[in-house]
Amino acid sequence: MPRYKLTIEYDGGPFVGWQRQNNGYSVQQALEDAVFLMSGERVVVHGAGRTDAGVHARGQVAHIDLTRDWPLHKIHGALNQHVKPHPVCVLNVEQVGLDFEARFSAVRRHYLYIIDNRRAPPALDRDRVWHVSRDIDAEAMHEAAQLLVGRHDFTTFRAAECQANSPVRTLDVLDVKRKGDHVEVQTNALSYLHNQVRSLVGSLEHVGSGRWTAVDLRAALQAKDRARCGVVAPARGLYLMQVDY
């Protein structure tokens, strides 16, 4: 039974998230339906990250098992044809060994969050950025963000319904940079808690807008109390950019 690795891009806006759910259509379901139309097989598309409703991806990774060998170009073309009209695109297809697992073989996941920081609201990027009209200081955000890099108990910055066994995670990178009207927050780590990135970005925005200092951010982290988290940034500004193996 051959296994195939898929690299996927999608607009998360129309979906209930990556994972198949009962309350709406998911990215996983769109791809599974496309595989069925291609092959006649009902398979599970195993993803590297379970992005929430509204979160986008430029480099999600998944794997599928099929009962026979398919030419890679046929899988690539057929999936992109059959997944229409949903805003999902298979960027690349590779055949991999059965020891490859999209989720469990991953060693690092890269996320990007985009804040649109200008007075006028976005028109073209309305559903792909978080618009913040007040001035924010990206340098202050970056300096404060370094307090969160490393291994910490991130209880303050995870969703109340998070099902992870432990709130301890290790952030390898948390960088904040201004690029014109955009303030970009880049992070990578082996794994994240539910809503962790969006919670961190919302709290860093408090620092950038002057409502918090770096000391306040550190105190929120050390409190290990969800009530001490700043606003949770909206899903539309978050992108899964890349998964390393």
Q: DSSP characters for 101-137?
A: -TTTT--EEEEEEEEE-SSSPPSTTTTTSEE--S---
Neighbours of 148 (CB within 10 A): 19
Q: Do domains 3-96 and 108-244 have the same CATH topology?
A: yes
Give the residue from 5, 98, 94 showing the smallest Cα distance to 46.
5
Neighbours of 212 (CB within 10 A): 20
Q: Across-strand partners of 3? A: 65, 96
> Cα(245)–Cα(227) distance, rounded to whole angstroms?
35
> Cα(30)–Cα(135) distance, rounded to whole angstroms?
39
pLDDT in tens, the chain (245 residues): 899 999 999 999 999 999 998 899 999 999 999 999 999 999 999 999 999 999 999 999 999 999 999 999 999 999 999 999 999 999 999 999 999 999 999 999 999 999 999 999 999 999 999 999 999 999 999 999 999 999 999 999 999 888 889 999 999 999 999 999 999 999 999 999 999 999 999 999 999 999 999 999 999 999 999 999 999 999 999 999 999 99
> Cα(69)–Cα(114) distance, rounded to whole angstroms?
40
108-244: CATH topology = Alpha-Beta Plaits (3.30.70)
Q: What is the pTM of this model?
A: 0.95
Query: In the chain, what are the domain boundaries?
Result: 3-96, 108-244
Dmax over Cα atoms in the chain, in whole Å?
A: 58
Cis peptide upstream of residue 122 (ω within 30 degrees of 0): no
Could you tell me which CATH number the domain at 3-96 has?
3.30.70.580
Host H or E run for residue 186: strand 182-189
The residues annotated as belonging to the active site are 52
* Beta strand 3-10 pairing with 56-65: antiparallel
